[in-house]
């Protein structure tokens, strides 16, 4: 029974110390204007543009596959590079 009292007091003291330290850190962090300058590496700056370009290449490849498989009618898909060229016939397969 005596040990439980000691453990209870220790938990109470630790939680109070944690509370006081948290308040102190909150005040300290609010006082100072913390500013972090993150410098992006050179090869990461063009990441957004590179990913856009890669996605458009993937979409064009899928559209070319659709075009050759005859999934969309020729000349009617604006994203398809084959549809941009005139007189390009669709290879239609009969499954």
Q: How many CB atoms lie within 10 A of CB 63?
A: 19
Residue nearer to Zn ion on the CB measure, 32 or 83 = 83
Per the listing, tokens 């084959």 go with: 82
Report the nearest approach of Zn ion to the CB of residue 36 (Å): 49
Residue nearer to Zn ion on the CB measure, 40 or 91 = 91
At 34 the three-state DSSP class reads coil
Say how many residues make up the chain: 95
Report the nearest approach of Zn ion to the CB of residue 61 (Å): 12
Residue nearer to Zn ion on the CB measure, 17 or 69 = 69
By the criterion CB under 5 A, which residues form the site for Zn ion? 67, 77, 80, 82-83
């Amino acid at each position: 029974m005596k040990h439980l009292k000691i453990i209870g007091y220790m938990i109470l003291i630790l939680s109070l110390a944690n509370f006081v330290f948290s308040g102190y850190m909150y005040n300290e962090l609010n006082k100072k204007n913390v500013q972090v300058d993150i410098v992006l590496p050179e090869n990461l700056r063009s990441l957004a543009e590179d990913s856009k370009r890669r996605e458009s290449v993937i979409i064009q490849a899928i559209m070319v596959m659709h075009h050759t498989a005859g999934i969309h009618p020729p000349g009617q898909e604006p994203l398809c590079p084959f549809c941009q060229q005139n007189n390009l016939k669709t290879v239609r397969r009969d499954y």
